[in-house]
Amino acid sequence: MNIIQYTEDHHRFRERLKVFLAREVTPYADQWESERMVPREIWRKMGREGFLCPSVPQEYGGLGGDYRYALIVSEEMSHTWITGLAAPLHSDIIVPYIQSFGSEAQKRKYLPGCVSGDIVTAVAMTEPDAGSDLAGMKTTGVADGDDIIINGSKTFISNGVLCDLVIVAATDPAVENKHQSISLYIVDAGTPGFDKGKKLDKMGWHSQDTSELFFNNCRIPASNRLGQPGGGFLMLMEKLQQERLTCALGGVAAAERICEYTLESCRKIEINGKPLIKQQAVQFALVEMSADIKVGRTFMEKLVEDHVEGLNIIVETSMAKYWATDLPNRIADRCLELLGDYGTLESNPIARARRDARVMSIFAGTNEIMKNIAAKFMGM
């Protein structure tokens, strides 16, 4: 019995997405990696075809679909061998904040553009001195009449260069309790006082536009706040389950592609006239990696179904995030050893996959933080 319960709509969505990615993304993956950026137009193309924000209700332009669509997108995009087009971040992590906590006016203003690809989103939490610790945040949002004035800086912001709006976490210094001082604000690109910094040159995810963001007396209307003042921390906590699960989807899908490619390569590469795959040590390694991946997929798929049902699985998703994002790192390392010199060539996707996999255990809360969270919930 399959764990994931797909409908005909899911299957049709997957087939359309396969065709789209094969035509519009995969042929350009190497070019975009070399150029260190995906073009803005690919976001619009993806949106026009209905592949962004599938969970957004139909009244705002979306499909009104469930979270199973997120799994389909992660799986199919993994076949492109490119991480720069961060559609899961946009669709399944950032836009849900507006969808869940936005006012009706905010939803009507922003959601249709998020679905169509005319609006690319980013979320700004990480700061130079704060890291994963939200309580250490220094960016401030201070009320001034009907406005909010934001001051501070953020770093390692994915989609930071191309973003049209960013959801900014900021604190009110007048509130002593740090967690109760955090609010979330929608800041549009081009707002005076909001400046995008340089694109960061990273060891992986080369075509993904990660940058610094700066706010210097950035004045926005108070109506751009999501929810009530001081409600930001609870909003972030509520959405972390889906964020961590989304990371787990990407981790399992990446591990699968790496192992599949290595298996096929071992059929073709010959040593002393004998394919690598006929060597017992190589066979054992591939079997062990395949078993790990199947375990990870079973755990991940069970959590997807639980999440769709609305269950509280914050402990399990914290576990899944650390385990499933460590997985492609382990798999890529071992596959690189199997392929030897061939695996180190830049023309080999394993070299790119190894670089790209490393950050997965760091973003969205480091895997050490995930273990801390699980330990606390387990009463340790």
| Interacting residues of 362 by C-beta distance below 8 A, sequence separation 6+ | none
Measured CA to CA, the distance from residue 65 to residue 58 in angstroms comes to 9
- H or E, element range at 236: helix 232-268
Measured CA to CA, the distance from residue 335 to residue 353 in angstroms comes to: 10
Catalytic residue among 33, 76, 243, 256: 243
| CA dihedral of 306, 310, 313, 319, whole degrees rounded to 10 | 60
Alpha carbon dihedral 7, 11, 13, 15, in 10-degree steps, equals: 180
Verify whether residue 243 is a known catalytic residue. Answer: yes
Q: Where in the chain does DSSP place strands (E)?
A: 121-124, 140-144, 147-158, 165-171, 182-188, 194-199, 210-221, 225-226, 270-271, 274-275
Identify the sign of the CA torsion 310, 312, 316, 321.
positive
Q: Which residues, in sequence order, are CB contacts of 314 under 8 Å at separation 6+?
A: 240, 241, 373, 377
What are phi and psi for residue 173, nearest 5 degrees?
-65, -15
What distance in Å separates the CA atoms of residue 182 and residue 139, rounded to the nearest whole number? 10
76, 61 in Cβ contact below 8 A?
A: no
Burial class (CB within 10 angstroms; exposed 0-12, middle 13-18, buried 19+) of 229? middle
User: What is the distance of C-alpha 255 from the center of its chain?
Assistant: 16
SS3 content of the chain, % helix, strand, coil (to 5): 55, 15, 30
Q: 225-226 and 210-221 as β-strands: parallel, antiparallel, unpaired?
A: unpaired
Neighbouring CB atoms inside 10 A of 62's CB total 23
Active site (catalytic) residues: 243
